[in-house]
Amino acid sequence: MLPKFDLNDNSNTTVSASKIEWQHLGAELVFTQDLAGNYLSFWWAKAAEYGLNYNQLKKPSHGQIDSQDIYAHISKVFAPVDNYAYLEKVRRVIKRRLPEQCYCLFQYQDFSYSFELIISPILPPQGEPQAVMVMGHLLRETEMFSFAQNEVPAAIYSYQKLLNQVVQQIRRSLDLATIYQHTVQNIGTTFATSRCLILANHYNITRLSVKAEYCRDEYDSTTKHQINWYKETHLQQALESSYPLAVDFIGEDLLQRKSVLVISTNSSSQDNVLICLQQCDRYRHWTTAEMEMLREIAEQVDAAISLAKLYREVEQASIQAEEASRLKSDFLANTSHELRTPLNGIIGFLKLLLEGMADDPEEQREFIEEAYKSSIHLLNLINDILDIAKIEAGKMELELNEIELDELFQDVDNLINTQAKQKNLNFQIKFPATLTPVILYGNYQRLLQIMLNLISNGIKFTKEGGIVVSAEVTNKKIECQGIEFPGMVKISVADTGIGVSLEKQDKLFENFYQVDGSRTKSYGGTGLGLAISQKLVEAMGGTISFYSMGDGLGSTVTFTVPLSHLPVIKTAQS
């Protein structure tokens, strides 16, 4: 038989036979307490089994202690986890003078235990009750499930209040950061956890980022850490499930975690978040009621996240629509100017011919040539617009074949050289140093179109200096249309022209974008050339980029094309 102690008796001896022997009451756990939660007597049949030392439960014998000391003393020994809710129930029992049944989670050292209790007032012959007798037993796992499904433990009143608070606060905001922070703050304080985190899971990224954190002062913040969830088995499992995952015992841990409860807000989404409760001061058994409440909170948070994301998408779509409308308006204004210019030229020179304004056959031929040039310019402009329309509609099909780089460069030189000479610009093509031909895989006409477009832009925006075309062979493998290629050619078109400021370079490949209207009208152009070139390059498995040091410092456009096979590179010995 286990010893029984009267905790008001400083002798540390067993209770005399004349006193009540608690074990004869038929309960596994029996104790008496005053209104402040101080133990007046205590007996638990399984105390020795769980390492509970009765002497630790004694009230300090020295002098009078205030309520703060009492609560501090209780928290270090055998006491309810939610002591506030428990004492509220004790006071209610005394006030009503009626027994009350409840379920309560007790903490002792690093462990917690769930009990079914009956709290009864101790009625004195005279005056008001000042103490209660509590009888109960330790719950088995099946019983804990039963009470969670059919009864409401003391802390659930707090949890229900928490749920209402979370719902109200997240409905007031469409900002994800605000929603996250309100959620962790409320959960952390109500569940009495050491930490509460919201962790964002990004598709195809093996790390979780902390989006919001509640952390008690005595523990380190995790906001500066990145958690590899491949090493956190419970986090990985939670991401793959829609149910809470409880871990009552975690071994040695740098973050001092002892118990964890975690749930995913949306397991069906590629990008979702985890709500993670961490207990660091003790090992904690997470009850079914707690897990069910966390699941309800997660559902509300998921709905709030979806609403916030939807609002953000609508807002972004509205901004993009306004920007697209503005760009198209600018494009139409510039294009109408560009269309009118060659068309007016054609009409003007033809009118001069019809009115017999040419003085001689040579001048007549000159008028015809100018009308022809204007018609070609108009045709090119219309072709650019049609190309963009086809690409946007997904109706442009490219037939890819093997192409010799030397042949492509030679045709470019023949078509561009005269144009460069007319502006007194130096035009140079640098062939890669290879012993065997460089064979590309692409569409010849579209590659020629890209080259002519980029070089023509360089000539158009360059007043002095020149344009240099170069090619570099790399053996980096790439894939296009399901075919793997051994390498690629990087083709660069560099000019000494007017350049582009750094802040405007990111938008150069957008449809209809032009650096500014005055520059466009001065040099000509529709703002479609780079957009068309980018889409054509990407359709052939390559990439394209633009670089300039800034206004007046020239520019370089580089794009890549897959290699059908690697050429033999020329070395110093060869």
Beta partners for 121? 132
**Whole-angstrom distance, CA of residue 201 vs CA of residue 276:** 13
Mean pLDDT (whole number) for 315-342: 78
pLDDT digits (tens, 9 = 90+) for 101-114: 888 888 777 677 78
pLDDT digits (tens, 9 = 90+) for 50-97: 777 655 555 554 444 444 454 445 446 788 877 777 888 898 899 889
Q: Residue 524: its pLDDT value, please?
A: 53
Least confident span in 51-60, 260-269, 369-378: 51-60
- Of the two residues 97 and 525, the one the predictor is more confident about is 97
- Of the two residues 210 and 427, the one the predictor is more confident about is 427
Q: What is the pTM of this model?
A: 0.42
Q: Residue 281: its pLDDT value, please?
A: 85
Q: Residue 296: its pLDDT value, please?
A: 84
Q: Residue 157: its pLDDT value, please?
A: 55
Best CA proximity match to 495, nearest among 471, 456, 468, 530: 468
Per DSSP, 48 falls in state T
- Of the two residues 3 and 317, the one the predictor is more confident about is 317
pLDDT at 520 over 70: no
**Contact in structure between 222 and 215 (CB atoms under 8 Å):** yes
DSSP 250-313: --S-TT---EEEEEES-TTSSSEEEEEEEE-SS-----HHHHHHHHHHHHHHHHHHHHHHHHHH
- Of the two residues 465 and 83, the one the predictor is more confident about is 465
Share of the chain residues as helix, strand and coil, in percent rounded to the nearest 5? 40, 25, 35
pLDDT digits (tens, 9 = 90+) for 137-178: 887 644 444 444 444 444 555 566 666 777 777 677 778 888
Rg of the chain in Å (alpha carbons): 40
Mean pLDDT (whole number) for 236-260: 81
Place of tokens 């719902």: 167
pLDDT digits (tens, 9 = 90+) for 401-411: 999 999 999 99
pLDDT at 35 over 60: yes
- Enumerate domains of the chain plus CATH numbers: 5-139 (3.30.450.20), 157-310 (3.30.450.40), 397-565 (3.30.565.10)
**Contact in structure between 301 and 178 (CB atoms under 8 Å):** no
Average pLDDT taken over every residue of the chain = 79
**Whole-angstrom distance, CA of residue 563 vs CA of residue 440:** 5
φ and ψ at residue 461, rounded to 5 degrees: -100, 15
Q: Residue 516: its pLDDT value, please?
A: 54
**Whole-angstrom distance, CA of residue 87 vs CA of residue 79:** 11
**Both tokens assigned to 218:** 């005595």
Percent of the chain with pLDDT over 70: 78
Q: Residue 14: its pLDDT value, please?
A: 32
pLDDT at 496 over 90: yes
**Whole-angstrom distance, CA of residue 172 vs CA of residue 168:** 7
pLDDT at 2 over 60: no
Is the C-alpha dihedral spanning 128, 131, 133, 136 positive or negative? positive
Long-range contacts at 37-40 (CB < 8 A, ≥ 24 apart): 37/70, 37/71, 37/74, 37/79, 37/83, 37/86, 37/87, 37/90, 38/70, 38/74, 39/7, 40/6, 40/7, 40/8, 40/131
**Whole-angstrom distance, CA of residue 152 vs CA of residue 142:** 16
